[in-house]
Amino acid sequence: MPIEIAGSPRAMHATRKFLSFVLAFLCLGPLLATASMGQAEAAMIFVTNEKDDTVSVVDSQSLKLVNTIQVGHRPRGIIITPDKKDIIVCLGDDAQLAVIDAQSMKVKRLLDSGPDPELLNISPDGKTLYIANEDDSLVTVMDYKTGQVTQEIPIGVEPEGMGVSPDGSIVVATSESTSMAHFIDTKTYKVIANILVDSRPRYADFTHDGAYVWVTSEVGGTVSVIDAKTHKIVKVIDFEIPGVRPELIGPVGINFTTDGKRAFICLGKANRLAVVDTSTYKVIDYVLVGQRPWHAALSPDGTKLYSANGLTNDITVVDVASLRAEKSVPVGRLPWGLVVRP
């Protein structure tokens, strides 16, 4: 069994990059070019760079960096509003959110979020923001139009994950130090269930049908699948990668494919994305990307997945159908999260 030393993923990554580049050039290139000619306009990938205080914008067709936006200090969580007009970024060290106009790529508004916002989410109607205040054990609820904080909901220590149900009725917040997923009713703002999961839960997301909530545990190295109605854990997904030490497997981001049949789980220091079948909970494959991917985002047509690789300062393009890493594009320092504007 090959033992992976920390220097080698990068080498493997480079080799793989090179091979995929050659392959793409030889056979896929012309196909891709034909396919992309049908699209009117390229989608834009917005990446938060935690260390650089910037958001990098990458053109999804040319895969070139087209813009670098100065946003404020320690940008991490990033979302796009349901109408795709605004991109909202958590500025942890400024206690603010920056709102970027998705077309002009300019910061057009700053909102006071409460201390240390790390990650946020928005209601399906685009009216309400749910913000994890990592330093303050709070979920802040904000009216997006007015920027007014309407509620502060105390949960466990170090809130981070913030999953919103498809109908908007439930928010699931995770608290990293308390190791829990807290179910919050968005009508009453009451916490209706607290589910103990493995260590350091960092992200929560509902399946497309709203039936299950998936919660990643970074230090525990697992994903808990929770029944959204009964609040029971129905499955704990483990990961085992030949040649990679278990302690390096740190699940963080979750992305369900457009058809909902698969989930991509970012595995942090394992430098891979796990591909999980959502009906059998079996791991289908592991895709090697850059170092320490924490979050990823799907292209608007669902054919590509982009991972933000914190330690290699790049994003990796993964083909959803073939599960191949196609290319990595350099962005800023410590890329954290990303969204795609159609």
Partner 1 sequence: MRAEPNTDKQRPVVRFFRSLPIRRRELASGLLALLLGGFVPLIGSALPSAAQQPMPAAQPLQVNILYLSRQYDEPAPLSLTEKVVTDKGVQGARIGIEDTNRTGRFLSQNYRLSEAILGLDEDFKAKAKAALASGANLIIADLEKPDLLALADMPEAKSAVILDIRTSDDSLRQEDCRSNVFHILPSWAMRADALGQYLVWKKWNRWLLITGKNPPDLGYAAAVKRAAARFGAKIVDERSYAYAAGSRRTDTGHQQVQQQMPLLTQSAPPYDVAFVSDESETFGDYLPYRTWDPRPVVGTQGLFAVAWHRAFEEYGGTQLQHRFEREVGRIMTERDYAGWMAVRSIGEAVTHINSVKPADVRAYLLSDKFGVDGYKGESMNFRTWDLQLRQPVLIVDPTELVSISPQEGFLHPKYLTDTLGFDQPESKCRLK
Please identify, using beta-carbon distances, which residue of 7 and 242 lies nearer to partner 1. 7
Please identify, using beta-carbon distances, which residue of 59 and 135 lies nearer to partner 1. 135
Buried b / exposed e over 138-161, threshold 16 CB at 10 Å, is: bbbbbebeeeebeebbebbebbbb
**Binding stretches for partner 1 (CB under 8 A):** 3, 5-7, 116, 134-135, 137, 156-158, 175-180, 194-196, 199-200, 219-221, 231-233, 245, 247-248, 250, 269
Q: How far is the CB of 179 from partner 1 (least distance, A)?
A: 7
341 closest CA partner among 98, 137, 59, 114 = 59
Element (H, E) at 88: strand 86-91
Please identify, using beta-carbon distances, which residue of 13 and 269 lies nearer to partner 1. 269
Please identify, using beta-carbon distances, which residue of 245 and 282 lies nearer to partner 1. 245
3-state secondary structure (DSSP) of residue 15 = helix
Q: How far is the CB of 4 from partner 1 (least distance, A)?
A: 10
16 closest CA partner among 331, 332, 329, 328 = 328
Please identify, using beta-carbon distances, which residue of 205 and 218 lies nearer to partner 1. 218
* One-character DSSP codes across 32-67: HHHHHHT-SS--EEEEEETTTTEEEEEETTT--EEE
Asked whether the beta carbons of 238 and 217 are under 8 A apart, the reply is no
Q: How far is the CB of 5 from partner 1 (least distance, A)?
A: 5
Q: How far is the CB of 156 from partner 1 (least distance, A)?
A: 5
Please identify, using beta-carbon distances, which residue of 42 and 157 lies nearer to partner 1. 157
Q: How far is the CB of 277 from partner 1 (least distance, A)?
A: 24
Contacts of 264 by beta carbon, 8 Å cutoff, 6+ apart: 253, 254, 255, 257, 273, 274, 275, 276, 287, 296, 305, 318
Residue 177 CB neighbour total at 10 angstroms: 15
Q: How far is the CB of 18 from partner 1 (least distance, A)?
A: 23
